Structure 1
Amino acid sequence: MTSAMEGGGRYNRNASAQAASAVFGLHHLAAAAATAPRGPGGTVTVVDYGASQGRNSLRPVATAVDALRGRYGVSQQVWVFHADLADNDWTALFRTVDEDPASYRRPGVFSAAVGRSHFERLMPDATVGLGWSSIALHWLSTVPGPLQGFWPAGGDADQQAVWSRAAAEDWARFLRLRSAEMLPGARLVVVVGAARGDGPTRGAGAERAMTELATGLRRLVRSGLLTQDEVDAMVVPAWYRTADEWRAPFADSPLVLESLDLVDLGDPIWEQTQDTAGARLGDYGATVAAALRVSFGPALLRAVDPARRAAVATALFDDHLARAVAGQPPEPWFAWRLAVLVVSRPA
């Protein structure tokens, strides 16, 4: 998985595209919660796999709590475990859960954190009644191997084959771990970025922006802010799976893939910065830059000296990318596709 998100609540403020994606899984989550089994002591345990700084978890968890209490009654106790890497910005998460007006917190709902990769066991055997993961499972457990450039979709055929195998192993491992944690009858709802096809047509929908970031990196080398060795070490350890890749592990799994929906999301940032008549509501270039900085910046710049990292991020995203987007004819830069999966452990 990638390094921690930028601190100070920056991810919460700039991850609106991720929030727009999560919406497509909410009706599945409500339906899964309405049948979720109780665990030890009669409590229902909900696990949020890939919580980041928490804001984008509030609505999904509130949806789940409402559905659970619709089934079991308003006094039903619920454990909510937010899982992410140990160096996640947990302070921002708990402040958000405690203070945000949209928080799911209410009497009888308890919050906790698990600071580990979701490629490890996170919960005891047969305790989880409901799982949720939104825009997190594109991250890989490690960098699988060499890559031309930093964006996996740009690798050659041999490199993509290596990355595809590693991504398949990670997805299968994630499911094995969750199957041990889930109660019989429990469901897991996943919303995640998906690829459009295989080979040279494989695209995650962000290729134009990634090409522009590569241009920006070359300029930072020429200016002396980065060295070529630093740029050569940069890689984003993510993989956008095709529908077939999402389905593959279920041929030999105790879990069942109940449904897989593909959603052409388009460019939610464009939609959020335009009104229905096409008038500008916000600065699209600056919003794109801020969104990519919090989404991919920590992974991309991980090898840069921490003392210089913030300055490099500002120069690359807030300066170069924002200006490049603003300098082009006004149009969407992204064509995201989502996979929305409902996975169950049979009763």
Structure 2
Amino acid sequence: MSGSFPMNGGDGIYSYTKNSEYQREASNNVKEMIDMTIVEKLDVKHLTFASRSIHLADLGCSVGPNTFIAMQNVMAAMEKKYYAQSLPSEDLEFQVFFNDHISNDFNTLFASLPVDRKYFGVGVPGSFYDRLFPSSSLHFVHSSYALHWLSKVPEKLLDKNSSTWNKGKIHYTGASDEVMKAYAAQFESDMENFLDARAKEIVVGGMMVLIMQSLPDNIDHSKTPTGVIFKFVEDGLMDMVNAGIISEPQVDMFNLPVYSASAKEMTRLIESNGCFSIEKMELIDPRSKDAPINAQAVIMHVRAAMEGVIVKHFGRDIVDDLFEHISQKCMEDFHLMESSNMKGTQLFIVLKRK
């Protein structure tokens, strides 16, 4: 039931490398917030008292270039804080750990490392829902647009005799309350594991920044950007069922392992863990206010992110046809995508290890 869901590797037309500008924009929109948090909240003098080496980790790094940009921004903010405290920064060293699933395209990741980087880069394959690093070895952890991926599809969804049998659906969008609760329970279990692991790995006083898809209060998931997109995918698959290309039972057994948590859920889980103080939590807009939405770019983005999990279940032969169907759905109902681009679907969280 568990598995990895890597983004498309390489640097081809459907790769994540070429189709991750939306995630990059979402990350860039919080750059100043991260900078300010480091300047105001992070005690770099304390963290480097015993050693001039600072260890950073990006969890769910994928294949770049977004991870390189994010890590460089964090290091620049730390150097600025060091300089502001009149501390000698010449001998300050950074080691960056790039983490993703074992099946991630680490070859492309490291082939594209910036040649002018001022840090030591290390690959750490494995699920961030498990331990990845030695105890008290990390000073700063970053994760952007990765924690919405569950460790696995909730098992109850595949029980034909259960009220959570998700017939004709591929997600909790538009599904029953029982299906929604099964997703929420899986997310809660995953986040408990995530926070427990990071609590052991991050030094006291260290910081963690999480950038996540989120669900604003009093908004149905079907009205969010991901909810609209998942409906396009679902409709595309059902069109292929009606055309006899795939079978209905194949769709019934397919569920996307993705969950958008609310700020209330995250607050409850963090407080229950008890090892982190919440320095900042805010719902923000993932995109610039005046940035237009490009339908074709949206489809390319969805393919770069979702092709792997689709191929794993249905095989590669249907992919081109499926995304033709999805593209048509998107063009026909593009007004739904535009209206879903609402403020407050991105959650920015800053945690400090107690």
Distance 1:203 1:122, change over 3 A: farther
Equivalent pairs counted in the alignment come to: 324
Residues of 2 paired with 1:178 and 1:96: CA distance? Answer: 28
Paired residues of 1:39 and 1:127 also in contact (CA < 8 A)? no
- Report whether the alignment pairs 1:243 with 2:263: yes
* CA-CA distance at 1:52 after TM superposition: 0.6
Farther off after superposition, 3-12 or 225-234: 225-234
- Report whether the alignment pairs 1:232 with 2:252: yes
Q: Which string of whole-angstrom CA distances, capped at 9 and with x for unpartnered residues, describes residues 103-145 of structure 1?
A: x713xx1101111000011111101011100001111111113
Partner-residue secondary structure (3-state), 1:6: coil
Residues of 2 paired with 1:154 and 1:192: CA distance? Answer: 21
Partner-residue secondary structure (3-state), 1:153: coil
- Report whether the alignment pairs 1:115 with 2:125: yes
Residues of 2 paired with 1:230 and 1:26: CA distance? Answer: 42
* CA-CA distance at 1:152 after TM superposition: 2.2
**In the alignment, which of 190, 193, 196 is matched to residue 170 of structure 1?**
190
Paired residues of 2:8 and 2:305 also in contact (CA < 8 A)? no
Q: Which string of whole-angstrom CA distances, capped at 9 and with x for unpartnered residues, describes residues 151-208 of structure 1?
A: 2233211121122122112112211110110011110011110012369567543322
Q: Which residue of 2 aligns with 1:55?
A: 65
**In the alignment, which of 260, 266, 276 is matched to residue 255 of structure 1?**
276
Q: Which residue of 2 aligns with 1:280?
A: none
- Superposition RMSD in Å: 2.5
Distance 1:329 1:188, change over 3 A: closer
Q: Which residue of 1 aligns with 2:321?
A: 315
Partner-residue secondary structure (3-state), 1:231: helix
- Report whether the alignment pairs 1:87 with 2:103: yes
Show the 5 A alignment for 1:317-336: 317=323, 319-328=324-333, 332=338, 334-335=340-341
* CA-CA distance at 1:49 after TM superposition: 0.7
Q: Which string of whole-angstrom CA distances, capped at 9 and with x for unpartnered residues, describes residues 295-342 of structure 1?
A: 23322442123xxx1x4222212x122233234566726426000000
Show the 5 A alignment for 1:1-347: 2-9=4-11, 10-34=15-39, 35=42, 36=44, 37-38=47-48, 41-70=51-80, 71=82, 73-98=89-114, 105-106=117-118, 109-144=119-154, 145-146=156-157, 147-148=166-167, 149-197=169-217, 204-252=224-272, 253-265=274-286, 271-272=291-292, 284-305=294-315, 309=316, 311-317=317-323, 319-328=324-333, 332=338, 334-335=340-341, 337-346=345-354
Residues of 2 paired with 1:232 and 1:256: CA distance? Answer: 41
Farther off after superposition, 240-249 or 224-233: 224-233
Residues of 2 paired with 1:202 and 1:89: CA distance? Answer: 32
Distance 1:59 1:234, change over 3 A: same
Match for 1:258: what amino acid?
Answer: E
Extract unaligned runs of 5+ from structure 1: 274-283
* CA-CA distance at 1:26 after TM superposition: 1.8
Partner-residue secondary structure (3-state), 1:118: coil
TM-score by length of 1: 0.85
* CA-CA distance at 1:5 after TM superposition: 1.5
Q: Which string of whole-angstrom CA distances, capped at 9 and with x for unpartnered residues, describes residues 54-78 of structure 1?
A: 2111221111121233315143110
Residues of 2 paired with 1:303 and 1:235: CA distance? Answer: 10
Paired residues of 1:32 and 1:130 also in contact (CA < 8 A)? no
Extract unaligned runs of 5+ from structure 2: 83-87, 158-165
Residues of 2 paired with 1:333 and 1:297: CA distance? Answer: 25
